[in-house]
Amino acid sequence: MTVLTILNSPGTEIPDLLTDLGDRDGIELRVAEADTLGQALPGTDVLLMWDFFSTALKDAFGSADRLAWVHAAAAGVDSLLFDELVDSPVTVTNARGTFDRPIAEFVLNFILMQAKNSIGSLADQRQEKWNRRSTRDVAGSKAMIVGTGSIGREIARLLKAVDIEVTGAGSHARSGDNDFGDVIDSATLSEHVGGFDWVIDIAPLTEQTEKLIGAEVFAAMDDTAVFINVGRGDTVDTDALVAALRSGEIAGAGLDVFEQEPLPADHPLWGLDDVIITPHMSGDTDGWRMRLAEQFHRLFEQHLAGEEFTHTVDKKLGYVR
């Protein structure tokens, strides 16, 4: 008997593809919420974090006596990993690959909106103002992509398709990368960001990347450069970002993630010109929940068959290698 527990959030529907697993011989399905997870974990072999930002497992982990595999239905696992889980033999997987193309398209949208001054055009439209002006070329511009995982690579491929030159920043420097060519060590980011039109943050949140992009990096960027964050809000020093935008150190920003979510109504970012704000939605295209369910279903079948997973999270690093 394999016991599968799904951690869900209140009011969130679980697709039939997942709940129907409980009708199969040899599988017991349990559904829990944060306050009942501790009761559901004894005997559980597999835990699906359908409530993917929940930290409930940390408090309930002492009740996990048979847990072998945790799957997070999200790309980032920073809210899931804690010392006891990292040090345990429990395998962790994530939604690697599910959000790659949607997020890449979202980044391209941010770039096009900034390059073509869509913010100004929409403001003119609301005022019924006919205001012809020149805009920036995208072809021939340069992008630094901070984070060289699967999403960063899909961003690189899409941007190269519209003739944007890309460079990567990752955990270690290297050359000859298939998607980025040269990759710089992200610890030296401030030494390299000058000369780029777009600095795109898709780095995972780890001890090394927390507030990676701060005052020093913004000061080193060109004053015509735009900062884009579709990764994790805590990888950025938000106060330094606000200061850089106000002072004109950088030209604008496209922000989908923030240190505090939802972004408070009185936050200064709301009132800044040339800033596009979206509510952590860059990966959420139509059908995204079903795609997450289908991915877990495939992995679960591999688990039952005793096969190796197509990817696992390096719990020490905090991301898939």
The fold adopted by the segment(s) 100-277 is: Rossmann fold (3.40.50)
Query: What is the structure's pLDDT at 240?
Result: 98
Q: Are 75 and 97 in contact (CB under 8 A)?
A: no
Query: What is the structure's pLDDT at 53?
Result: 87
DSSP one-letter string for 37-95: HHHH-TT-SEEEESSTT--HHHHHGGG-SS--EEEESSS--TTT--HHHHHSS-EEE--
Query: What is the structure's pLDDT at 139?
Result: 98
Q: Are 296 and 73 in contact (CB under 8 A)?
A: yes
Domain ranges of the chain: 2-96+286-304, 100-277
Query: What is the structure's pLDDT at 223?
Result: 98
Query: What is the structure's pLDDT at 298?
Result: 97
Which H or E element spans position 174? strand 174-177
Query: What is the structure's pLDDT at 52?
Result: 87
The yes-or-no answer to whether 2-96+286-304 and 100-277 have a common fold is yes
Q: How crowded is residue 124: how many other Cβ atoms within 10 Å of its Cβ? A: 15
Count of alpha carbons within 13 angstroms of residue 214, beta-carbon side: 9
Q: How distant is the alpha carbon of residue 61 from its chain centre?
A: 25
Query: What is the structure's pLDDT at 291?
Result: 97
Q: What is the pLDDT along the chain (321 residues), one digit of tens a residue?
A: 999 999 999 999 999 999 999 999 999 999 999 999 999 999 999 999 999 889 999 999 999 999 999 999 999 999 999 999 999 999 999 999 999 999 999 999 999 999 999 999 999 999 999 999 999 999 999 999 999 999 999 999 999 999 999 999 999 999 999 999 999 999 999 999 999 999 999 999 999 999 999 999 999 999 999 999 999 999 999 999 999 999 999 999 999 999 999 999 999 999 999 999 999 999 999 999 999 999 999 999 999 999 999 899 999 999 998
Calculate the alpha carbon distances from 8 to 34, 71, 94 in Å.
8, 13, 16
Query: What is the structure's pLDDT at 112?
Result: 98
Write down the CATH number for the domain with range 2-96+286-304. Answer: 3.40.50.720
Cα(193)–Cα(161) distance, integer angstroms: 22
User: Any idea what DSSP says for residue 300?
Assistant: H
Q: Which letter, b or e, does each residue of 49-76 get, where b requires 16 or more Cβ atoms within 10 Å of its Cβ? A: bbbbebebbeebbebbeebebbbbbbbb
